[in-house]
Amino acid sequence: MTERGDIFETGEIFRERELVRVGHVPDLDRVVGRDEEIESMGSALAPAIRGGPPETTIVYGKTGTGKSLVTRCVTREATRRAAADGNTFAYAYIDCSDYGTEAQASRQMARELHERLGDAVDDRSIPRRGIGAADYRDITWELLTEGDVDAFVVVLDEIDKLDGDALLRSLSRARESGKADTFVGAICISNKIEYRERLGERVDSSLQDNELVFDPYDATQIEAILSRRRDAFAEGVLDDGVIPKTAALAAREHGDARKAIDMLYEAGRLAEQERADHVTEAHVDEAVDRAEINRFQKLVSGQTPHVKHILRALALLTERADTRTFRTAEVYDAYRKVAEQAGTTPLSYDRVQRLLKEQAFLGVTESKHTGGGHGEGSYRVHRLLRSPEIVTRGLDDQ
């Protein structure tokens, strides 16, 4: 019988792996590269920790620029500071990509508030269904009164995915309409700078001009972010070049700190799986490749075998030639060989041409018309938008 080792043994790469998980919210002093944004958000919430009205704020920026992280850190710190001053500040965090309807978001607001207030309010069951958005908001107003909350802020993350602006309108008028004695505000987080243009006039006017824009991180800032999370790993297991390399790669990817953290974690996991003593730059390279392979596989997961034969043919052509672009006829000839080797009957030339156009539309390949040289007509050329190695590995692993 085969001797099996401890299946739960993971080696000694990680010490506190939660520090390099994307959902981890660090202490405020661990947040780097966002001092101005932290101060601006602190100013917007400063009246609230003293029992006054918070300023409703719209936060813009690309994915991975620290919008959600800074917001969660600052609202958590505001809760502590208010309590130290003898005031009650509460907040609810709603990810609108998960709670996209008015009713879902209103229910989550009530549930989050109920959980945060804890023993300050009576235990109650908030129904998952069967009542409307306005009823969930009424529960929220009751909780604010019962918990004697001075100021309440609702964080609406990815608010552009929330249907309509009824919830935001209700929050902006909660005290004015007599629904709550508590001062109520909102922090609206969006990846889309044009979000405000979608708002109704009454809601837009309540926002005043309090907007905050998060720019992408540069390589130096990302390196500092990763360095602050170095203690996720055991002492001495990270090779010197790992963090600088990860930061440089992430900065190239539009300054996305979230991807950088995930890249560092995946590099650590690879080292762990190999039972390695150190995390090396080679582990970072492999982590990047695996992430790229996963993204490619998601793009082609529902495609037919013939589409995959076409992509494999393009990968083979790219590996063997000095150019990265190929005429339709060249792709078709290579595709026929791949299909025949796979034991399938090749599709017609016209059908393959249409499938190539579909892949260009989906962003898997690029396809464009080009003028021929002297004596040639125009023709269409195609190229992969990923390296042929990634495409081949992605197809082999499916």
Give the model confidence (pLDDT) of 62-95 as tens digits: 999 999 999 999 999 999 999 999 999 999 999 9
Looking at per-residue pLDDT, the higher value among 219 and 125 belongs to 219
Return the CATH fold of 218-299.
Answer: Helicase, Ruva Protein; domain 3 (1.10.8)
Measured CA to CA, the distance from residue 152 to residue 60 in angstroms comes to: 21
The residue whose two tokens read 């989906």 is 362
Greatest C-alpha distance within the chain: 85
Residue 205 has a pLDDT of 60
Task: Kindly report which listed range (283-287, 364-368, 369-373) carries the lowest average pLDDT score.
Answer: 369-373
Question: Is residue 78 within a helix (H) or strand (E), and if so which, with residue range?
Answer: helix 67-84
Other C-beta atoms closer than 10 Å to the C-beta of 346 total 17
DSSP state at residue 301: T
Identical fold, 34-214 and 302-396: no
Q: Please report, for the chain, the start and end positions of each structural domain, with discontinuous segments joined by +.
A: 34-214, 218-299, 302-396
pLDDT of residue 7: 47
Hey, is 77 helix, strand or coil? helix
The tens digit of pLDDT for each residue in 24-60 reads: 888 888 899 999 999 999 999 999 999 999 999 999 9
Which tops the pLDDT comparison, 267 or 3? 267
| pLDDT tens digits, 338-358 | 999 999 999 999 999 999 999
Across 100-110, b (16+ Cβ under 10 Å) vs e yields eebbbbbbbbb
**What mean pLDDT do residues 285-290 have?**
93
Pick the CATH number of 34-214 from 3.40.109.10, 3.40.50.300, 3.30.465.10, 3.30.300.20: 3.40.50.300
Q: What per-residue confidence (pLDDT) applies to 255?
A: 85
Flag whether pLDDT at 269 surpasses 70.
Answer: yes
Q: State residue 207's pLDDT score.
A: 59
Distance from C-alpha of 171 to C-alpha of 293, rounded to nearest angstrom: 43
Q: How confident is the model at residue 214 (pLDDT cuts 50, 70, 90)?
A: very high
- Contact between 215 and 179 (Cβ < 8 Å): no
Instruction: Report the pLDDT value the prediction gives residue 360, as an integer from 0 to 100.
Output: 92
Which H or E run includes 382?
Answer: strand 379-384
Residue type, position 295, single letter:
R
Mean pLDDT of 373-382: 74
Does 183 have pLDDT greater than 90? yes
**For 364-368, what is the mean pLDDT?**
92
**Higher-scoring residue by pLDDT: 38, 7:** 38
Give the per-residue pLDDT at 375: 57
Enter the DSSP assignment of 101.
S
Which residues define the annotated binding site for ATP? Answer: 65-69, 217, 229
Mean pLDDT on 186-207:
74
For 123-154, what is each residue's pLDDT tens digit?
A: 888 988 889 999 999 999 999 999 999 999 99
Distance separating alpha carbons of residues 68 and 356, to the nearest angstrom? 39
* Cα separation, 200 vs 51, whole angstroms: 29
Q: What is the mean pLDDT of the chain?
A: 90
**321 has pLDDT over 90:** no
pLDDT of residue 222: 95
Residue 377 pLDDT > 70: no
Q: Which amino acid is at 324?
A: R
Residue found under tokens 């560092």: 264
Scanning 153-231, the segments in alpha helix (DSSP H) are 166-172, 201-206, 219-228
| 20, two tokens | 């390099």
Confidence of residue 209 (pLDDT cuts 50, 70, 90): low
CATH hierarchy code of domain 302-396: 1.10.10.10
Residue 356's CB: how many other CB atoms inside 10 A? Answer: 23
Give the residue ranges of the annotated binding site: 65-69, 217, 229
- Tokens standing for residue 69: 């992280």
Q: Determine the pLDDT at residue 206.
A: 58
Task: Take residue 84 and report the two structure tokens written for it.
Answer: 């130290």
Q: Token pair 């590995």 is at which residue? A: 393
Query: Mean of the pLDDT values across residues 317-334?
Result: 93
- Assess whether pLDDT exceeds 90 at residue 16: yes
Q: Is the separation of the CB atoms in 234 and 15 below 8 Å? A: yes
Q: Among residues 142, 199, 129, 192, which one has the least CA distance to residue 167?
A: 199
Q: How far apart are CA 279 and CA 232, in angstroms?
A: 12
361-386 mean pLDDT: 82
* Ramachandran category for residue 323: left, alpha or beta (phi over 0 → left; psi -120 to 50 → alpha): beta
User: 202 or 36, which is more confident?
Assistant: 36
Bridge partners (DSSP) of residue 370 are 379
